Amino acid sequence: MFYFAFNNRDIILRRNGEALTADDMAALSIACGSTETYEESITGIRCLGLKNAELLPDGYMLHPLRFYFSEHTEEEVLRASRAKALLEWRSQTRYCPRCGAKLTDHETLTARLCPDCQNLIFPRIEPCVIMLIHRDGKILLARNVNNKNGMYACLAGFMEAGETAEQAVRREVFEEIHLHIRNLKYFGSQSWPFPAQLMIAFTAEYESGELQLQTEEIADAAWFDPLHLPAVTPPNGSIAHRLIQAAVDAASSSSSN
Ligand SMILES: [Zn+2]
């Protein structure tokens, strides 16, 4: 079995570095209360959402899940990411979207079952695109209006129904900063279970247009030399960080040659 406990965007870890056990789960649930639990038989994942993390007993600590993503093996990250995604899905899938009846857990599948109309609801993921645009050795970073700590990050957005990922990238870039791009290249992807995103990352090159911001969403956008980035950029553990770091690495290797 693999035991996971979460509080919002944090994972609960034992201070001694050992994995959580069934006893830990019971102790945490009693001390903090639980918002949700879920058990998946096929993976052996057991997850628990804590209600009141201020009551965390000695010997445990909260740790941002996105840091965990950059500190653990691919297998461990997959498991923790799935545990968090299942917990979010379970907590947001209580009633049948077709008939409104209260759902139950399916006996064998990772699915919720409607006892009235037999509707089966599987965990959903929400694809998002994220992109880093290059122009003459510089990269475009933008500050979102909702970001209060002045962070400059990559443009990103949810895919619309019916779109390909490439179409979503072009649409988001044009909507948010009014530029046309070319030479889209797939960079990688990351599960981002806050609550259910799949981040699909691309790089692209500037093609044409003048920067013109969609001011309801973008407070500022500018071209930055990767070796002179703004003070606050996306933290380690996110695919945005990996996209920017790849540009930094390429710039520093070409400047040292
Ligand atoms: Zn139903």
CA 94 / ligand 1 centre spacing (Å): 11
CA 101 / ligand 1 centre spacing (Å): 5
CA 111 / ligand 1 centre spacing (Å): 13
SS3 call for 31? helix
Residues 6+ apart with CB under 8 A from 228: none
Q: Is the pTM of this model over 0.85?
A: yes
**Count H helices, E strands: the chain?**
5, 14
CA 120 / ligand 1 centre spacing (Å): 8
What token pair was written down for 232? 């606050």
- For the chain, the domains span 2-92, 126-256
CA 122 / ligand 1 centre spacing (Å): 14
CA 118 / ligand 1 centre spacing (Å): 6
- Counting every residue, how long is the chain? 257
Q: What is the 3-state secondary structure (H, E, C) of 100-118?
A: CCECEECCCCCCEECCCCC
Architecture category of domain 126-256 in CATH: Alpha-Beta Complex (3.90)
Per-residue pLDDT of the chain (257 residues; tens, 9 = 90+): 999 999 999 999 999 999 999 999 999 999 999 999 999 999 999 999 999 999 999 999 999 999 999 899 999 999 999 999 999 999 999 999 999 999 999 999 999 999 999 999 999 999 999 999 999 999 999 999 998 899 999 999 999 999 999 999 999 999 999 999 999 999 999 999 999 999 999 999 999 999 999 999 999 999 999 999 999 999 888 999 999 999 999 999 988 76
